[in-house]
Amino acid sequence: MLLILATAAFVSLAGTRLCDAMLPALALAFETGTVEASAVVSAYAIGYAVTQLLWGPIGDRHGKLRVIAIAALACTAITLAAAAATSLTALVLARAAMGATAAGIFPLGLAWISDNVPLAQRQQALARFSGVSVFGMILGPLLGGLLSEAWSWRGAFLVVAAMYAIIAWVVWRRDQAAGPQPQPSAGPSASLVQGLRHLWALPWARVVLLATGAEVALGIGCLALAPSVLHQRFGLPLDRAGALVALFGIGGFLFSRAAPWLLQHIARPRLPALGGAIMGASVGSLGLIPDWGWAAPACILAGFGFFTLHNTLQVQVTQLAPDASGLSFAVFTACNFFGQSAGVAIIALAWARFGAAPVFLICGAGLVVLGLTMNVLIQRRMQALT
């Protein structure tokens, strides 16, 4: 089931960047410019972000697997509509709807792990889930580019629709095979507003969610601007610079493979400090490297460090509100989106005024401090609970 859900998350995250490499083909097909065609990219992200908080309570009330299957089925229909779009406006609307429905897959997959995997194995399960799903964002542009080049941009959407259909069928069958599930109680996720109030009233929830937003703002905010920095400093073409930064995902995958060893040899509360130190040093170095070749190991290490810290935060989210895990992970994912958006905007302004080196160094130092802080706070919480 873990592999099935990770595959579903892989497809939904691949959708965020599916159209990146096919923008020239879309511009040609609809007789417009690449800038206008890029609306299909932002439309998916907007739809995904806006509906995050709606899916969590629905999954808590009606069952995570059932809702994931329904979301995947809806994605199938909408992706087929995207493939049949006869105007750019229709495609943009379809992409927004795709994002809105795909938003129910990734956070509810995390919530299912929270509900069904014992705490002792949960961190490793979350690492494996993230290790598979993160490749969606890496391979999304490659998938879209290859399929649109070898077949057509419509063919790329047809392939994704087929993948969603298979996922919907498999998850639905597994949900039905599990038999009748206990009726969920009217917990804090019974209504969105009530659930959000309940979650925010928990002091530890505020700490974890704010730490998540800060981690993504500092780390992913810098990495989102790294291709532009490499282009400006070393004259690299943007596609090559983007490929270097995409190695971040390789670091995430390496963490997912190394997680069993790390969890066996390093105390869990120390993982945030390790992750913050590795990512902080890697992000800081991107503003100082003397040659673009150093960007490759820096980005791989940044990915390893990010997922080391991020995975620990995910485990903490599983313990915030056990009767509302869907809502907890929906808010967690929303913090990722809004943290990244705020981070990119603020770091871009600072870069324009002060340059890349001081800004990346400050963000790197902030990540080190964040990791050390969460190390101390998690240790104190564990001591208080025991």
226-254 pLDDT, tens per residue?
Answer: 887 888 888 887 667 777 877 888 888 88
Q: What is the pLDDT of residue 75?
A: 93
Task: Let me know whether 24 and 108 are in one domain.
Answer: yes
- Per the CB < 8 A criterion, the answer to whether 138 and 246 are in contact is yes
- Per the CB < 8 A criterion, the answer to whether 275 and 371 are in contact is yes
Task: Let me know whether 327 and 255 are in one domain.
Answer: yes
Position 217 in a domain:
yes
Decide: residue 33, CB within 10 A, 0-12 exposed, 13-18 middle, 19+ buried: exposed
What is the Cα–Cα distance from 250 to 242, expressed in whole angstroms?
A: 14
First to last CA, the chain: 32
Position 266 in a domain:
yes
pLDDT tens, position by position, 38-57 = 778 778 877 887 887 788 88
Position 187 in a domain:
no
Closest residue by Cα to residue 200 from 306, 53, 60: 53
Amino acid at 182: P
Domain termination site, one of 142, 177, 212: 177
Task: Let me know whether 232 and 255 are in one domain.
Answer: yes
Position 186 in a domain:
no
Task: Let me know whether 205 and 299 are in one domain.
Answer: yes
Task: Let me know whether 215 and 140 are in one domain.
Answer: no
Task: Let me know whether 8 and 60 are in one domain.
Answer: yes
Task: Let me know whether 333 and 248 are in one domain.
Answer: yes
Mean predicted lDDT score pLDDT of the chain:
84
Q: What is the pLDDT of residue 177?
A: 80
Mean pLDDT score, 2-23: 81
The CATH number of the domain holding residue 277 is 1.20.1250.20
Secondary structure letter of residue 180 according to DSSP: P
- pLDDT at residue 181 is higher than 60: no
Lowest mean pLDDT: which of 168-182, 197-211, 289-303?
168-182
- pLDDT at residue 154 is higher than 80: yes
pLDDT tens, position by position, 217-226 = 998 888 877 8
Q: What is the pLDDT of residue 62?
A: 84
Looking up tokens 């705490």 gives 119
Q: What is the pLDDT of residue 364?
A: 94
Task: Let me know whether 254 and 120 are in one domain.
Answer: no
- pLDDT at residue 182 is higher than 80: no
What is the Cα–Cα distance from 341 to 115, expressed in whole angstroms?
A: 30
Domain termination site, one of 144, 177, 210: 177
Task: Let me know whether 169 and 100 are in one domain.
Answer: yes
**pTM for this prediction:** 0.77
Q: What is the pLDDT of residue 185?
A: 47
**What is the DSSP annotation of 250-263?**
HHHHHHHHHHHHHH
What is the Cα–Cα distance from 117 to 340, expressed in whole angstroms?
A: 29
Lowest mean pLDDT: which of 105-109, 171-175, 209-213, 221-225?
221-225
Mean pLDDT score, 166-182: 81
Position 242 in a domain:
yes
What is the Cα–Cα distance from 301 to 296, expressed in whole angstroms?
A: 9
Task: Let me know whether 90 and 139 are in one domain.
Answer: yes
Q: Is 179 left (phi over 0), alpha (psi -120 to 50) or beta?
A: left
Position 184 in a domain:
no
Q: What is the pLDDT of residue 189?
A: 46
Most distant CA pair in the chain: distance in Å? 65
The tally of domains found in the chain comes to 2
- pLDDT at residue 102 is higher than 60: yes
With residue 340 as reference, give the H or E element that holds it. Answer: helix 325-354
Mean pLDDT score, 68-73: 94
Highest mean pLDDT among 146-150, 272-276, 342-346, 378-382: 272-276
Domain termination site, one of 147, 177, 207: 177
Q: What percent of the chain is helix, strand and coil (3-state, nearest 5)? A: 85, 0, 15
78-95 per-residue burial string, b: 16 or more CB within 10 A, e: under 16: bbbbbbebeebeebbbbb
Position 115 in a domain:
yes
- pLDDT at residue 161 is higher than 50: yes
Task: Let me know whether 169 and 210 are in one domain.
Answer: no
At 186, is the pLDDT very low, low, confident or very high (cuts 50, 70, 90)? very low
What percentage of the chain exceeds 70 in pLDDT?
93
**What is the DSSP annotation of 49-103?**
HHTHHHHHHHHHHH-HHHHHHHHHHHHHHHHHHHHT--SHHHHHHHHHHHHHHHT
Secondary structure letter of residue 294 according to DSSP: G
Task: Let me know whether 265 and 121 are in one domain.
Answer: no
Look up the domain containing 19 and give its range.
2-177
Neighbours of 380 (CB within 10 A): 11
What percentage of the chain exceeds 90 in pLDDT?
25
Decide: residue 144, CB within 10 A, 0-12 exposed, 13-18 middle, 19+ buried: buried
Mean pLDDT score, 178-185: 56
- pLDDT at residue 337 is higher than 80: no
With residue 5 as reference, give the H or E element that holds it. Answer: helix 2-14
Position 370 in a domain:
yes
